[in-house]
Amino acid sequence: AYLRAALDSVGGAPVVMKLPRGTQGMGVMRARDIEEAQAISDVMWNLQRDAIVQEYVEEARKGDLRVIVIGGEVVAAVRRRASRDEFRTNLHRGGSVKKVTPARH
């Protein structure tokens, strides 16, 4: 019941399920349907771990933007992209990174 409610709260499957803490894309999994989400949930339950359920956004495979702001000024920015067979943009998962200059507003 809790899993169904969590999935419904983000619009249903597919979803991203992940550990509350982690780096390098470890502990981040995509569940394409309720059965995969249930399998991931069962493992988390057996390991006595909490899980975060997030909406899966297909367009996010195109990349995410990381921006460093100091004193209200953008000092650096990079765009990370997932590899062809991966949804996570982490370098440790085969992603790529490119320096970018964000548009000013």
Low-confidence ranges of the chain (pLDDT < 50): none
CATH number attached to the domain at 2-56: 3.30.1490.20
The domain locations on the chain are 2-56, 59-99
Q: Specify the pLDDT at position 105.
A: 62
**Burial of residue 18 (number of CB atoms within 10 Å: 0-12, 13-18, 19+):** buried
